[in-house]
Chain A
Amino acid sequence: MNARGVRRTRTAIAAAAVVALTGLAACGSGEGGPPSLNWYVNPDSGGQERIAKECTAEAGGEYTIKLPRLPRDAPGQREQLIRRLAGNDTSVDIMSLDPPFIPEFAQAGYLAPVPEDVKAQVTKDVVAGALQGSTWKDELVALPFWANTQLLWYRKSVAEQAGLDMSQPVTWDQLIEASQKTQKRLGVQGTRAESLTVWINAMISSAGGQILENPGAEVTQYKLGLDSDAGRRAAEVMQTIARSGVGGPQLATATEDINATEFEGPDGGFMVNWPFVWPRAQGYVKAGTMQKPTLDDYGWAMYPAMTQGEQSRPPYGGINIGISALSKQKDLAFKAGQCIVDEKKQAAYFISDGNPPSAKAAYEDPEVLKAFPMAPLIRESLDKSAPRPQTPYYNEISGGLQRTWQPPSVVDPNTTPKDSQSLITAILRGDALL
């Protein structure tokens, strides 16, 4: 290397050092302000960001909330959070958690125990489903935030044409028949994803069964209730929907979004879906891409029953707030968590993002009732909802179901429930791949 080369190298090293030092200085300057909390959120329509800003303002300099985003789908959110927590990432303070994964987080010790005073405040007057979804082994491990449930959405004109009395609870069989008669679609989530498990679980629960009968037992002793009358009945409904064609050609890849799009179009008849479809349709009317009469044609009812005269058990979903056990500022995080789940913020979040509150009082809010005329039905549906199996091995159970009950066209009541039961049992024992 000649002298000039050496000089050039030295300049480069010096430049690199300057850059590195500037970087460090930039990091250091952040420590002067109030401590900042990281709230890992699922993507929504911006409601959580607004809540974070409001809570930061209300804290009056005690803390600020930053909002790292998680992937779009629930399994992706779980994967990223678990990998961080398993790697002892102390930067995670607050987490928006999908309820079926809460037992896994709690069992692994990733969730900080909720202090008694916080517990007393956040469990007051909360819908049953959300409370159950935040609890693991009789301990509250997360703060109930918003609670989701599916309704049966229908086009009033189609129901009328089919001669279906929607003031009474309807069954899947009636819906299939009505869709066939009117040549309209019955939207269900048949894709290989979490939403398929939501559907299967709701049908089995509504038929009086349970996917996992003893969630408190050791994993190798788990008793599954798939190979049962309820399981076979659920498979029968799925098979009929697939064979009759009322699910449409999309059935095998249908997500909630695809169902909503289909329902908005000329083929829309019935669908089971979350309440987000309501603000979505209103938005389209405002934007001029949907006619007002179409929106006026929207009707809603309780989730379909499996048997005439019996009560259905609608799906339960939503988000609860977990505080990381690895966080270095747990006290502040719980304070922020309490601010996030405040019932007024829940009501505002419902109106802005279409995500129903877990606090009962929010359902009496006149603003809420104006924006969501079906709010009382949502609350009733939440009270009757059945959670998905609450177990640290939920991912295995859901994955096993998605493998055996998909595509819906291959589902057969004589084989599918039995096959899925033995497959999931083998997976849980470590004897099979997923």
Chain B
Amino acid sequence: MSTLAKQPPQEQAESERANRTARRVKSERARGENRLGWMLAGPAFAVMVLVTGYPILQAFFDSLFSYRLTDPAARRFVGLTNYGVILTDPVWWRAFWVTTLITVVTVLVELVIGFAFALVMLKALRAVRPALRTVILIPYAIITVVSAFAWFFAFNINSGFVNPLIGQPDLNWFAQFSTAVTVIMLSEIWKTTPFISLLILSGLAQVPEDLQEAARVDGATWWQRLWKVTIPNMKAAIMVAVLFRTLDAFRIFDNVFIMTGGSAGTETLSFGAYRQTISRLEIGLGSAYSVLLFLTVVLICVGFIKIFKVDLGAARGER
């Protein structure tokens, strides 16, 4: 079954040879296209470097100082001390594990539900398809802060409808970690599943129908076709969706800020960065915190690309 998904070796070799010849022939044109590409994307690239590169470098520079915003005169160079303070503090590690837990659970659940949604959107009757897609996408169109408030009020012990519904009038959802983090994750899943299902939908649409048909003719069941044909052919799309969502989930802030304000042990890494920089006004310590958060996100990204061999180009159909 597994060979079904791939082209026969001989055909593949031929097409590669043809490609190589084509590349030589088109080299002049390719170079021109390349130049045009840079001219078109160059300004955007320069702006990106300016608006993301500059703050990152500035943050790294600031992180080497003991610097409080309200007392600029007392700023002094402390080297890597701030990093030492953060990495030896249980607050950082607790936030790190809480963030990891939220990321892993939400991304896994979203992947499963998102895949199901994508299948529904793909296979739905033409007549209901636009309406269905709209319904599935609505949560994603809602501002995170608004959705956080909606979930907060729903589970609020005083005004929420959830407690009467489940017959637990005295359950204070936001008083302990287990229940508080559950609501935070539920709201995150509700809000961002549409994003993942949209990316998966585009991947699903790329799976050639003839492969499916061939499998069907060979007597493969629906389940076998899903695992042996559909998923292997859209691996790139899935990995890109998972990568983007992981990076996004790892920076979770709004839900925690609105629902618990970091109480009940629900502080995440982004929340910690906010606390040091914005609330404590400790620019040095906060910058070090942000740089560490940035490095963690970079590590996740590199890890994904190396371990799962995610090809970002493939997802756009550039192969």
Residues of A that sit less than 8 Å from B by CB: 75, 79, 82-83, 86, 104, 107-108, 110, 191-193, 249-253, 258, 261-262, 392, 395-396, 399, 402, 406-407, 430-434
Distance of A251 Cα from B263 Cα, bound (Å): 13
B280→A193 contact, CB < 8 A: no
Whether A433 and B261, one on each chain, are in contact in the complex, defined by CB atoms closer than 8 angstroms, is no
B193 within 8 A of A: no
In the complex, chain B residues whose CB is within 8 Å of the CB of A250? 157-158, 172
Known contacts A79-B278, A434-B275; 7 additional CB pairs below 8 A are A104-B70, A108-B71, A192-B260, A249-B171, A251-B175, A252-B175, A253-B175
Instruction: Write the nearest CB–CB distance from B169 to chain A, whole angstroms.
Output: 8
B232 located at the interface, meaning its Cβ lies under 8 Å from any Cβ of chain A in the complex: no
Stretch at the interface among B16-24, B83-91, B119-127: B83-91
Shortest Cβ distance from residue B36 to the other chain A in the assembled complex, whole angstroms? 14
A to B CB contacts below 8 Å, 14 in the list: A83-B278, A86-B70, A249-B157, A249-B170, A251-B172, A252-B264, A253-B174, A253-B175, A392-B71, A395-B279, A399-B279, A406-B263, A430-B285, A432-B91
Q: Known: A86-B70, A192-B263, A433-B91. Is A258-B158 also a contact (CB below 8 A)?
A: yes
Contacts of B118-176 to chain A: CB distance below 8 A = 157-158, 170-172, 174-176
Given contacts A191-B263, A406-B263, whether A433 and B157 have CB atoms under 8 Å apart is no
Residue of B nearest to A252 (CB): B175
Name the residue of chain A whose CB is nearest to the CB of B168: A249
In contact, B85 and A430 (Cβ under 8 angstroms): yes
The reply on B206 being an interface residue by CB < 8 A is no
Residues of A within 8 A of B91 (CB): 432-434
Which chain A residue has the least Cβ–Cβ distance from B259? Answer: A253
Whether A432 lies near B85 (C-beta < 8 A) is yes
Closest to B156 in A: A253
Q: A82-B70, A250-B172 are in contact. Are A433 and B272 (CB under 8 A)?
A: yes
Given the known A-B contacts A249-B157, A258-B158, A261-B158, are A395 and B69 also in contact in the complex, defined by CB atoms under 8 Å?
A: no
A129 shortest CB reach to chain B, Å = 25
A431 to B282, CA, bound (A): 12
Count chain B CB atoms within 10 A of each CB in A108, A110, A392 and give the residue with the most. A108
Measured in the bound complex, the distance between the Cα atoms of B275 and A432 in whole Å is: 12
- The smallest beta-carbon distance between A395 and chain B, in angstroms, is 6
Docked CA distance A192–B263 (Å): 6
Docked-complex contact B285 and A433, CB < 8 angstroms: yes
Q: Indicate whether A395 sits within 8 Å of B262 (C-beta atoms), given known contacts A407-B175, A433-B91.
A: no
Please indicate the chain B residues that have their CB under 8 angstroms from the CB of A430 in the complex: 66, 85, 282, 285
Q: Which residues of B line the A interface, CB within 8 A?
A: 66, 69-71, 85-86, 89, 91-92, 157-158, 170-172, 174-176, 260-264, 272, 275-276, 278-282, 285, 289
Are the C-beta atoms of A192 and B262 separated by less than 8 Å? yes
CB-defined contacts of A392 to chain B, threshold 8 Å: 70-71
- In the bound complex, CA of A187 to CA of B114 (Å): 44
Q: Are B263 and A433 in contact (CB under 8 A)?
A: no
**With the chains together, A79 CA to B280 CA distance in Å?**
9
Question: Once the chains are docked, how many angstroms separate the CA of A332 from the CA of B295?
Answer: 50
Q: Do residues A433 and B174 form an inter-chain contact, with CB atoms below 8 A?
A: no
CB distance from B57 to the nearest CB of A (A): 20
Q: Cα distance A104–B279 when bound, in Å?
A: 13
| Chain A residues near B71 (CB-CB < 8 A) | 107-108, 392
| Contact in complex: B280, A396 (CB < 8 Å) | yes
CA distance A402 to B91 in the complex (A): 14
Contact partners of B272 in chain A: CB under 8 A: 433
Chain A residues, CB < 8 A from B172: 249-253
- Chain B residue contacts of A110, Cβ below 8 A: 70
| A255: nearest chain-B partner, CB-CB | B158
Q: Which residues of A contact B92 (CB under 8 A)?
A: 433
Chain A residues positioned under 8 Å from B281 (CB to CB): 82, 86, 395
| A75, B279: Cβ atoms closer than 8 Å | yes
Residue picked from A108, A192, A431, A434, most chain B C-beta under 10 Å: A434
For the complex, give the distance between the alpha carbons of A94 and B71 in Å. Answer: 22
Chain A residue at minimum C-beta to C-beta distance from B70: A108
Asked whether, in the complex, the Cβ of A86 is within 8 Å of the Cβ of B69, the reply is: yes
Chain A to chain B: the 10 pairs with minimum beta-carbon distance, closest first: A192-B263, A252-B175, A108-B70, A249-B170, A433-B91, A433-B89, A249-B172, A86-B69, A253-B174, A250-B157
Cα distance, A191 to B69, chains bound together (Å): 28
With both chains docked as a complex, state the minimum distance between the C-beta of A374 and any C-beta of chain B, in angstroms.
26
A399:B89 contact, CB within 8 angstroms: no
CA distance in complex: A237, B278 (Å): 33
Contact indicator B85/A399 (Cβ below 8 Å):
no
Residue of B nearest to A430 (CB): B66
Name, among A75, A250, A253, the residue most crowded by chain B CB atoms within 10 Å (CB to CB).
Answer: A253
**B66 partner residues in chain A, CB cutoff 8 A:** 430
Which single residue of chain B is at the shortest CB-CB distance from A80? B278
Residues of B within 8 Å of A191, CB to CB, are 263
- Least CB distance from B38 to A in Å reads 19
Residues of B within 8 A of A406 (CB): 263
Chain A residue with minimal CB distance to B261?
Answer: A192
Instruction: Using CB atoms, name the residue of chain B closest to A427.
Output: B280
